[in-house]
Amino acid sequence: MFEVRSRGARLLLQLVVTLLVLPFLFPLVAMVQGSLAGDGWGNYAAVLAVPGLWRFFVNTVVIAASVIVIVYAVTMLAAYGFSKLHIRGREIYFWLLLACLTLPEVVLLAPLFTTAQAFGFFDTYWAVILPLAALQVPFAVLLTRNFVNGIPDELFEAARVDGASAVRGFIHLIVPLTRPIAAAILIFTLIGAWNNYLMPLVFLQSPEMQTITLVPQFFVGQFSNDQTKILASAVLTAIPEVVAYLCLQRLFERGLAAGALK
């Protein structure tokens, strides 16, 4: 965007970005450094040796994967319907959905708590998966609908003329063409599900059901507040997400560029 001709100006630009990015880097460095203080890598070994730690990971993976599958399926279907198919009064339905974006999860606590108990969902994965998916879908549909709007109608008309049904239009056009925005949805949903704290805190009470966002508190008890071990566990839980983001970074940006909020 900015045009810099001289070498000096370019160096200045570089210096400004570097200075601005330092405050963002600082806590990350503090986190890694703190996790290596004292026993060094021994902290990681101690954390990994805690029995039941894998349980936290497995629970989070199960929950995050289920939420992603549900959100992806539901969102793609809805975005196709909203963008390319005929729905009378579709803006009304769309706004009904978007209004859910304003809903904070704390509002769900009391009703979900009683309902989950009544249906026997309490302390099961479903008590966390369903509300998380419901909270993620509106934003995902908003992004994906914008993206699908950018795919020319003529493509779908041509397919129809060739005798393709709506279902085949979905399978052969929507699914392959929405890959970039799917990467964005995947990352946002992963972040939302993996990082969620409140739902597991309230709805998953038994120790073998808990997720990794509850790990720091678990370790406060386990290591009688040994900060280095807590930070080591923090680094370990962050790794899968950072890796996922790095792998999908290019697709993610392409998807956002095409489906960006408008």
Please, which of residues 164-193 interact with other proteins by CB under 8 A? 165-166, 170, 191
Residue among 44, 56, 194, 223 that touches other proteins (CB under 8 A): 194
Contact code string over 26-55 relative to other proteins, x by CB under 8 A:
xxx-xx--x---------------------
Residue among 107, 155, 171, 175 that touches other proteins (CB under 8 A): 107
Rounded to 5°, the CA angle 61-64-68 comes to: 135
Task: Indicate whether 251 belongs to the interface with other proteins (CB under 8 A).
Answer: no
Residue among 3, 8, 49, 152 that touches other proteins (CB under 8 A): 3
CA distance 199 to 190: 15
| CB of residue 19 to other proteins, shortest distance in Å | 11
b/e code 78-115 from CB counts within 10 Å (16+ = b): bbbbbbbeeeeeeeeebeebeeeeeeebeebbeebeee
Residue among 75, 178, 189, 222 that touches other proteins (CB under 8 A): 75
The interface with other proteins within residues 119-138 (CB under 8 A) comprises 130-131, 133-135, 137-138
The one-character DSSP state at 125 is T
Residue among 48, 69, 92, 101 that touches other proteins (CB under 8 A): 101
CA distance 34 to 182: 36
Task: Indicate whether 231 belongs to the interface with other proteins (CB under 8 A).
Answer: yes
Q: Is residue 187 within 8 Å of 262, Cβ to Cβ?
A: no
Residue among 45, 65, 69, 77 that touches other proteins (CB under 8 A): 77
Nearest residue to 181 via CA among 132, 136, 135, 145: 145
Residue among 48, 58, 99, 155 that touches other proteins (CB under 8 A): 99
Total of chain residues touching other proteins, rule CB under 8 A? 101
Task: Indicate whether 118 belongs to the interface with other proteins (CB under 8 A).
Answer: no
Task: Indicate whether 62 belongs to the interface with other proteins (CB under 8 A).
Answer: no
Residue among 91, 197, 205, 207 that touches other proteins (CB under 8 A): 197
* Tokens (6 digits) for 248: 């999908």
Q: Is residue 74 within 8 Å of 80, Cβ to Cβ?
A: no
| CB of residue 161 to other proteins, shortest distance in Å | 6
b/e code 172-190 from CB counts within 10 Å (16+ = b): ebbeeebebbbbbbbbbbb
